Structure 1
Amino acid sequence: MAGFANSRQNEKICKKVYVNIDNEYKNYFIGDKEVRDLLTREGERKLEGLPNSNIELKNLEKRLEAHKFVKAAEVYKGLDGNVHVIVKQNRPIARILRSDQDVYIDEEGTVLPLSDTYTARVIPITKSAYSKALDKGFFQDSTGQAYLSLLKFIEKDQFWKAQLAHMHIDGKGKVSFLPQVGEHTIEFGKPDEVETKFKKLLVFYKEVLPVMGWDRYKRVNVEFEDQIICE
């Protein structure tokens, strides 16, 4: 019976291809047309009209996952013989600005190229010429993982994601930020005790700036334990 059912399924004709692109994080790096072009090799081999026996699902998934902005793809056949495609996009969390290359990184530290069709709203990062190169391998070791954890914290926090406009890493590996609102520089220090430092910084925003004024300070340092230094 199983063999008979499988044989009948293979005889069915694909009449339509359904594409579902996961836009959970409001990324639009790949669209419906691009997905269909990948599936059909730019229209050379359309799936509509083919019997199920001639459609190799795993090959279609591999073709989609070879795209620079596709994190995972699932392709399956429905009981009616039609093909269903689910695409999950890569999620950039920061953009590295450097003289030789302008790239994104995702939450796993993987380097992604820029897109011709969409620009992600993520924090840009620059570094001192004397600091370690922020290349593909940087975010995979223990040192780089600390910076990656910092970026993931910012990306997941709505307030800090909106408030922090720029991140810089100096020659000693210390981090500083420029805010969207205010004229001050935030001196964060090394990417450790991240949650504690942001809690101190939130105290500065909630209790100090409303009293002293947003233009009162040019420098705010939360690097040291139990201290907020404002100048």
Structure 2
Amino acid sequence: MFKQLSNRIFWHRLLYSVVALIVLGGLVTLMGFIKGKSSEQACTEVRIVVLGAESFIEQQDIMAMLVEKYGELEGRTLEDIPTHEMEKDLRQIPFVFSAMVTIDMDGVLAVRIVQREAVVRVINNKGLDFYIDKEGHKMPVSLKYVPRVPVVNGHITEPYNGALDSMETQLVKDIFKTAQFINADSVWSSQVVQLYVNEYQDIELVPRVGNQQIILGNADSLERKFEKLMLFYNKIVPKTGIDAYTSVNLKFAGQIVCERDERFKPEELISMPDSTLDNTPNNSINTQ
């Protein structure tokens, strides 16, 4: 009985092996046929899709770049189209975050581009300007498209060579972090129209409403600083008016330092302990 069972197992295994070889041979033959057919098939169409919220680069720009380097693509045999090399070239464009080039069975060359997304525009102390994208890379400005992002200028020494590059100074890293915070909040993205870096390397906010010099300092504790600024607008401005203060300093922990316009009163310190934000029901501010 054991011998009969062993024979059955042997013949079953042999049968499975033969079937597997037949299937594998069929696949190899089919793939060879497809490859041979593909090598003879010509490109019937070039489809370019450019994705992203920005318009730094358009379909016609991609097509022009490909044609300039590789010549006319439609009508060329698929075997002669170097898709991997095309992808590498497209990724070298500073506005391009990712690029994918594929060819389907119908001879369609598909190009898929994802653009970089700008967060802030920086103008350094030498007048050179660049964007910082969502990944924290410096990228060039475009002559054909201007995204709606905060602009920062002033005492900024960050260099720029015109290509895709990483951030170097802590100041620009703080600018990037601050711009990200502002862009993520509909209230602040509407109220803050520009950033400025003063001679002390402090980041200042330029408001849409009011003429105050709003001193943020660095990008530490951004949420706390903007909470204090909101308290200023909600608690102080209704009592004094929007133009009563020439500057609002948010740098110091636990307090807002507001300097009044000379036409009103001398400088006064508005003390706001951290516990005020957390424990006071109405977020009151104590004026000293």
TM-score (norm 1): 0.85
Aligned to 1:113: 140
1:22 matched to 2:51? The reply is yes
The offset of 1:117, in angstroms, is 0.7
Contact 2:158 2:168 in 1 (8 A): no
In structure 2, do the counterparts of structure 1 residues 116 and 141 end up closer, same or farther at CA, with 3 Å as the change threshold? closer
Q: CA deviation at 1:143?
A: 5.8
Letter in 1 for 2:117: R
Give the Cα–Cα distance (whole angstroms) in 2 for the partners of residues 138 and 17 of structure 1.
33
- In structure 2, the partner of 1:184 is 212
Q: CA deviation at 1:179?
A: 0.9
Aligned residues: 225
Q: CA deviation digits over 1:150-172, x for unaligned, max 9?
A: 22222332322222122122333
The equivalent residue for 2:37 is: 8
Q: Provide the residue aligned with 2:82 in structure 1.
A: 56
User: Structure 1: which amino acid aligns with 2:256?
Assistant: I
Distance (whole Å) between structure 2 residues aligned to residue 158 and residue 67 of structure 1? 31
Secondary structure of the residue that 1:208 maps to in structure 2? helix
Change (3 A) 1:80 1:138: closer
Distance in 1 between the 2:42 and 2:108 partners? 7
Q: Distance in 1 between matches of 2:239 and 2:109?
A: 61
Cα distance in 2, alignment partners of residues 202 and 4 from structure 1: 69
Residues of 1 paired with 2:172 and 2:143: CA distance?
Answer: 28
Using a 3 Å threshold, how does the CA distance of structure 1 residues 156 and 199 change in structure 2: closer, same or farther? Answer: same
**1:172 counterpart = 2:200:** yes
Inter-CA distance 20–206: structure 2 relative to 1 (3 Å threshold): farther
Q: CA deviation at 1:197?
A: 0.9
% identical aligned pairs = 28
Residue aligning to 1:139: 167
1 CA distance for matches of 2:223 and 2:233? 15
Question: Of the candidates 214, 237, 240, which is equivalent to residue 209 of structure 1?
Answer: 237
Structure 1 distance, partners of 2:71, 2:66, is 8
The more displaced of 45-54 and 213-222 is 213-222
Select the structure of larger CA radius of gyration. Answer: 2
Measured in 2, the distance between the counterparts of 1:96 and 1:102 equals 5
* Structure with larger RCO (C-alpha < 8 A, sep 6+): 1
Question: Matches of 1:159 and 1:72 in 2, distance apart?
Answer: 32
* Unaligned ranges ≥5, structure 2: 1-26, 260-288
Mapped to 1, the partners of 2:174 and 2:153 lie a distance apart of 16
How do 1:62-77 residues align onto structure 2 when only pairs under 5 Å count?
A: 62-77=88-103
By how many angstroms is 1:55 displaced?
A: 1.1
Q: CA 1:173 to 1:138, structure 2 compared with 1: closer, same or farther past 3 Å? A: farther
Q: 1:102 aligns with which of 111, 129, 136?
A: 129
CA contact (8 A) 1:12 1:52 kept: yes
Match of residue 46 from structure 1: 72
Q: In 1, distance between residues paired with 2:63 and 2:243? A: 52
Q: Distance in 2 between matches of 1:141 and 1:9?
A: 51
Runs of 4+ in 1 over 6 A off after TM superposition: none
Bigger mean CA deviation after superposition, 115-124 or 150-159: 150-159
Query: Which residue of the other structure, out of 217, 221, 225, is the alignment partner of 2:249?
Result: 221
What CA distance in whole angstroms lies between the structure 1 residues aligned with 2:90 and 2:36? Answer: 27
